[in-house]
Amino acid sequence: MRQMNPRESFWAGAKEITPILMGIIPFGMISGITAVNVGIDRGTAMLMSVFVFAGASQLAAYQLIASGAVSFVIVYTALVVNLRFVVYSASIAPYFKPLSTPWKWIYAYLLTDQGYAISLIRFREDEDVDPLWYYLGASVLLWITWQIFSALGIFLGSAVPEHWGLDFAIPLTFMAVLVKSLDSRPSIIAALVGGLLATAAYNLPLNLGLIIGVLSGIMAGYWAEAAGRPRRGSDAS
């Protein structure tokens, strides 16, 4: 296959993220509606959507604001929820080495579960795509979609009927990403161990269950990958 040019790579990323946007649309609306319902004014909610751009941590923060939690707990929880992006960054960074530092900051800002998952899978399977432009195409389209529908949730708010049941989209969005990324034994083991331990430790204070799940999943995946490597000197001479 010939090497894709930047334009082709950009639109390939945008095309492959499109099916996942069906879950981002209601997710963004829920985020906007929730922000207004907990008492955040519309302007602040919109600024938070743009500058934070992290749906799961935004929802966690909104819930804590509604419960009257102190600022430290709110910030701490958002950081814990976003801890997974440290792992994402470490694994995808080698593909972005040619970027200047300012561009790396922009790419880091655009990092999402969905964009990361489809990009990493594509980069491993297809060396002919331009990683820089493919990731940008997927991430920019997702960012635009999130901001539009988050704004609709913020400014329409109560006009959205409750019987629509938009909250179903949140777990479905992450499940779609999870299933697509379970393409090896280590990734399956990491998902199972992390998910089981996070569920078992769900009731621990300060979201410790999430931290336990993330760290245990990483360790289990690393162990499984290391165990699957051939040992030195084991080949027949």
Work out the mean pLDDT of the chain and round it to a whole number. 81
The answer, yes or no, to whether residue 181 has pLDDT greater than 80, is: no
The answer, yes or no, to whether residue 151 has pLDDT greater than 70, is: yes
DSSP state of 204: S
Which pLDDT band, with edges at 50, 70 and 90, does 236 fall under? very low
Q: Determine contact, residues 32/150, Cβ cutoff 8 Å.
A: yes
pLDDT for 91-126, tens place per residue? Answer: 899 999 999 999 999 999 999 988 998 998 888 877
| Per-position DSSP letters for 58-73, written without gaps between them | HHHHHHHHHTT--HHH
CB crowding 121-135: b at 16 or more within 10 Å, else e = ebbeeeeebbbbbbb
pLDDT at residue number 217: 80
pLDDT at residue number 140: 96
Cα–Cα distance for residue pair 166/10, rounded to 1 Å: 30
Which pLDDT band, with edges at 50, 70 and 90, does 78 fall under? confident
pLDDT at residue number 110: 95
pLDDT for 36-61, tens place per residue? Answer: 888 888 999 999 999 989 888 888 88
Which pLDDT band, with edges at 50, 70 and 90, does 237 fall under? very low
The answer, yes or no, to whether residue 145 has pLDDT greater than 60, is: yes
Burial of 139 (0-12, 13-18, 19+ CB in 10 A): buried
Q: Determine contact, residues 150/47, Cβ cutoff 8 Å.
A: no
- For the ranges 6-15, 187-196, 228-237, the maximum mean pLDDT occurs at 6-15
pLDDT for 158-179, tens place per residue? Answer: 665 555 554 555 555 555 556 5
pTM: 0.74
**Quick one: which of 175, 214, 181, 180 has its CA closest to 195?**
214
